[in-house]
Structure 1
Amino acid sequence: MSGTFAAFFILSLMTIGGAVFMISFTRVVHMVVSLGVTFISIAGLFILLDAEFVAVSQILVYSGAISILMLFGIMLTKHNAVEDEGSKGVNRFFAFLIVAVFFGLCFYGIQNTIWPEPAQTAPNAPSNVEQIGTEVFTKFVIPFELLSVLLLVALVGAIIMAKKESDSE
């Protein structure tokens, strides 16, 4: 067993465990924390795939910004902590059954797939950050700029909506 395989196994278990905990916890703050564990584990998997830029982006955007945004949303909104206990056992059984069937199908598909040998990279190959930058700022510069304008419009719209809400109170 190599170190890469052990790291992949541990990160995979953390990713799956974080996702399972996220859907099984009842307190929203615990859900956000387990979602953060899932995001960081996925970033570790990206590092194993030699995609360091994507891993750092995953940590900054998802683990940092999205988790903090969700926590602020939880703290700033009113939510009822009462839980319906009526059909919890039946729902859990069907959820477990669906997950078990999905796991079996995925396992069968992975075991019966013929995987190609990984390609060897050239010794003077540019880093993936350089490749991403070249692609974004040559071929995709117009969509990149349109996305920045769209995000700016969404930010201004959110500010206007929040201002109207606070003025009406």
Structure 2
Amino acid sequence: MLANIADFFSSGANLMFFLFALLAIGGAIFMISFTKVVSMVVSVAVTFLSLAGLYVLLEAEFLAMAQVLIYAGGISILMIFGIMMTRHQGGEEQETKRTLHGTLLWIGILGLFGILFYAFQKATFPQGEFKSPEDNTLEIGKLLFTEQVIPFELMSILLTVAFIGAIVLAKREEE
């Protein structure tokens, strides 16, 4: 039973996958657990960066760079600007003690990981070799500008409309 775990961690790629997966899950859990908004933004940034690491492991370098530039960089900075430009109340909220809730939460977490551990130990995974294209960024570009050009342009229009709507809402709040 433990031989499968030793075989899994003998590969560096599997070890990095495990590390990035733990960071992604941990960042997501911390994001919904924290009460301070700045801590939430840092947790989201950790999640975004760990997802970019998973993309690198999958040999999807274009997606990894897009993840870092757009999400980890752009969205996190946008959230920080939003925090700085809005007014917040100075008072701290009193957090109520919920011991039963916490106990049930930990029992559920341990049960889920126990089930997953058992399932992974009993599963047999197919051994196959994935043949990735030589230049996956070139293939994404070809696909994006030939077969998927209409959804690509519709997405740009949607983002422009959302940007204009955000400006209108921000101007309306100033008045």
Instruction: State TM-score, norm by structure 1.
Output: 0.82
Structure-2 change in CA distance of 1:153 and 1:23 (3 Å): closer
How many residues are paired up?
165
Deviation of 1:87 (Å)? 4.1
Alignment-derived partner of residue 3 in structure 2: none
Alignment-derived partner of residue 156 in structure 1: 164
SS at match of 2:110: helix
1:118 aligns with 2:153: no
CA distance in 2, matches of 1:95, 1:78: 33
SS at match of 1:85: coil
User: What is the aligned-residue identity percentage?
Assistant: 48
Q: Which consecutive residues of structure 1, in runs of 5 or more, have no partner in the other structure?
A: none
Moved more, 157-166 or 90-99: 90-99
CA RMSD of aligned residues (A): 2.2
Deviation of 1:16 (Å)? 2.9
Alignment-derived partner of residue 132 in structure 1: 140
Alignment-derived partner of residue 165 in structure 1: 173
Moved more, 154-163 or 49-58: 154-163
Deviation of 1:130 (Å)? 1.4
Moved more, 45-54 or 88-97: 88-97
CA distance in 2, matches of 1:83, 1:91: 19
1:57 aligns with 2:44: no
Structure-2 change in CA distance of 1:25 and 1:60 (3 Å): same
Instruction: State TM-score, norm by structure 2.
Output: 0.80
SS at match of 1:155: helix
Moved more, 108-117 or 23-32: 108-117
